[in-house]
Every structure is written in structure tokens, then in C-alpha cells.
Amino acid sequence: MVTTEATVLPDLEPPASRANRTSGANRPGRRSRVLITVARIAIVGFFALPIVFMLVSSLKPDLQIFADLGSWRAFAPVGEVSLDNYAGVFDRVPFWQFLANSVVISGVTVVLGILINSMAAFALARLRWRGRGFVLTLILATLIVPFETLALPLLWWVNKLPSLEANGFSLEFSQGWLNTYHVQIIPFIANAFSVYLFYQYFSSIPRELDEAARVDGAGWFAIYARVVMPLSGPAIATVAILTFLPAWNSYLWPLMVIQSEELRPVMIGLQYFFQLNVSWGQVMAYSSLITVPVVALFIAFQKSFINSIASSGVKG
């Protein structure tokens, strides 16, 4: 196995710098550390305020939410606190159906997106073929086209495409992808930004690994699957999060292509609460419920996500 630079770098570090780190010569004093910690807590608290407001408001009646707005009470579970808004949400919309739809749509989009985009990036970053620079430029150029511009032509196309449907034990062709899960997934698998992220990351992995694998008899797919991808955890995590978020938050496209309630994702579900009399408590309860999976995903991949952003210099 070839030794990478990353594994030898720590040994090249001058002893002096290690000594400095352990001696505490440049370490901030106790007071500074306390101040830094307090500042960090304040910053975290500041950025967490909208989420705290959402969670707290989800426990209050509508009128109290507005009565508390002008004071600290808006961020504290005080007054008439109950889970009534959550009960209202489950009465009003098929929440679990919407959630399951979004989990399937976002999950499949993420998994297939990682697979397809990493393969494309691998071909661009590791294989030698004529025109790959041009193809990469072409892929990146698509980033400047906003989805809103493509939405109507895409709608027209997906309505014309053939669809294979199971009918008992036979398969039948029908026209149009509207009102299906796959119309919410397939158009968003290939993603120029994901290709670019993978391309950048793959380019930083030493080519000597490919050569060593080829000497051992590996083909390109084996190199992709067994050498490059296992070393690309941070890039995979970043692409997973950056693909998941728009898929989870998608609104315009499902609105255009889905009519059946059984197939609607969570963001369309949010609109059910905006009637003539908006039930803000239920809006907050529903928003809290659909935020949980996103926060859980971010926490799960947090380390890899930050590593990848730090190493690629790309901000999502």
C-alpha cells in the first residue's frame, strides 16, 4: 500500500511547535477562555433564537404567540403551554404520509445523486479522455440557469415521457410521469454542483493510489468503488446534505407535478395551515416536526460536512 502524504505530515512537524502547544506558552489565559466561551454561547444562542421561537410558539395558543411577541416571553415556554397544536396538526393533515413521502424522495435523490454525480466526477477527474475539460465547463455552466427557468419546459417534457407501470403481473406503458414519486426524484439526481464538489475532492486524492490499484489488477470501476469513494467521506457527506436540503424543501416542482395528496411532500403540507384564519401555533408545530429530520441529518454528518467545506473552500 502506498503511504499518503497525510499520514507522514505529523511526523515532519518541528518538535518546537509541539513543545509550544503542550507548554501553554501561547495558550489564552483563564479569563480569556471564559470570555471566548461566553461569546460562543451568545453567538449560538443568537442563531438558535428562530428555532427556539418556533419550538416555543408551537406550544402556545395563537393569541398568546402574538401577545408575547414584544418581550422575552416569546422565547420561553410560559403561559398556557400545551401540545394542542401538535394534536391539531395530526388532525388536519396526513402528516406521516407527507413525512414518508419526503423521506423517500429526499433519500432516493441523495443516494442516487451521490452515485451518479460521483461517477461523473470520477470520469472527469481521474480518467484521461479528449474533451473532458469542455464537458466539465459545460456541466458547470448549467449552474447559472435557475430552476424557475427550466420548470415549465421540464413539466412539458415529463408529461410526454413514457412511464412503465405494473398492472397485476404485467407491465404496461403509459404516457406522462405526473403524479408519481419518480417525477420528484429523477430530474434532481444529476447535479452540477455535486459533480463539481466530487471533482474537486477526487482531484486532491493522489493518483499514485490509482496506479497502485492498477498494478494489483483493478479496473476503473474497482478504483472508483474501492479506492476513491472510501476516501471521500467528507465529500459524500457534503453532497448528501446539499442534495438533501433542496429535496426536502422542494415546493414549486411538487406543486406542479403532483395532484394526489398521497404523494405530496412536507413542504406542500405546510400550506394546509394558511387559510383565512391562519393557525400560527399549528404552523409552528408542523414546522418543528419537519425540521427535526433536517437537524438530525446535519448533526449526524456535521464533522464530515465541516471537514469537506474546510478542505474544498466551498460554502453551500
Partner 1 sequence: MSRKIGRIVAASLATLAVAATAGCTSAGSGDSGGGTIELWTHAGGNEAELGVITSMVDDFNASQDDYTVEITDFPQDAYNDAVVAAATSDNLPCIVDIDGPNVANWAWAGYIQPLGLPEETYDGQLAGTLGVVDDEVYAYGFFDVALAMFSRESTLADAGVRVPTVDEPWTGEEFADALAKIDGLNRFDYAVDFGTGGGGEWIPYAYSPLLQSFGGDLIDRSDFQTADGVLNGPEALAWAEWFRGLVDSGYMAQASGEDATADFVNGTSGILYTGNWADTTVREAFDDAVVLPPPDFGDGPKIGAGSWQWGLTTGCDDVDGARAYLEFAHDTKYFVQYGEATGLIPATLDAAAEIPAYAEGGDNRIYLELADQFAVVRPETAAYPYISSVFQKATQDILSGGDAKSILDKAVSDIDRDIQQNGGYEF
Question: Exactly one of 2, 8, 144, 166 binds partner 1 (CB under 8 A); which one?
Answer: 166
Kindly indicate which of the ranges 65-73, 76-84, 140-148, 193-201 contains the residues binding partner 1, using the contact rule CB under 8 A.
65-73
Binding flags for partner 1, 225-264, as an x/- string (CB under 8 A): xx--xxx-x--x---------------x--xxx-xxxxx-
Of the pair 23, 277, the CB lying nearest partner 1 is at 277
Q: Per rule CB under 8 A, is residue 88 in the interface with partner 1?
A: no
Please identify, using beta-carbon distances, which residue of 37 and 259 lies nearer to partner 1: 259
**Binding region for partner 1 (CB under 8 A) out of 3-11, 16-24, 104-112, 125-133:** 104-112
User: DSSP string covering the chain, please?
Assistant: -PPPHHHHHHHHS-HHHHHHHHHTTTPPPHHHHHHHHHHHHHHHHHHHHHHHHHHHHTTS-HHHHHHTTTSGGGGS--SS--SHHHHHHHHHS-HHHHHHHHHHHHHHHHHHHHHHHHHHHHHHHH---TTHHHHHHHHHHGGGS-HHHHHHHHHHHHHHSEEEEEETTEEEEEE---SSSGGGTGGGTS-HHHHHHHHHHHHTS-THHHHHHHHTT--HHHIIIIIIGGG-HHHHHHHHHHHHHHHHH--HHHHHH---GGG--HHHHHGGG-SSS--HHHHHHHHHHHHHHHHHHHHHHHHHHHHHHHHH----
Question: Shortest distance, CB of residue 301 to partner 1, whole angstroms?
Answer: 12
Does 222 help bind partner 1 (rule: CB under 8 A)?
no
Q: Which residues contact 244 (CB under 8 A, 6 or more apart)?
A: 106, 109, 110, 294, 297
Q: Is 272 in the site for partner 1 (CB under 8 A)?
A: yes
Per CB under 8 A, contacts with partner 1 among 11-40 are none
Q: Binding partner 1 by CB under 8 A: which of 93, 124, 125, 309?
A: 93
Q: Is the dihedral of CA 66, 72, 74, 80 positive or negative?
A: negative
Does 176 bind partner 1 (CB under 8 A)? Our answer is yes
| 185 near partner 1 (CB under 8 A) | yes
Nearest to 147 by CA among 9, 254, 31: 254
The number of residues making up the chain comes to: 316
| Residues in binding contact with partner 1, number by CB under 8 A | 58
- Report the nearest approach of partner 1 to the CB of residue 262 (Å): 6
Cβ closest to partner 1, residue 108 vs residue 192:
108
Decide whether 135 or 180 has the Cβ nearer to partner 1.
180
The answer to whether the CB of 263 falls within 8 A of the CB of 101 is: yes
Piece in contact with partner 1 (CB under 8 A), picked from 20-28, 46-54, 58-66, 131-139: 58-66
Q: Measured from the CB of residue 194, what is the shortest distance to partner 1 in angstroms?
A: 15
Q: Is 73 in the site for partner 1 (CB under 8 A)?
A: no
List residues binding partner 1 (CB under 8 A): 62-63, 65-67, 69, 92-93, 104, 107-108, 111-112, 114-115, 152, 155-156, 159, 163, 165-166, 174, 176-182, 185, 225-226, 229-231, 233, 236, 252, 255-257, 259-263, 268-269, 271-278, 280
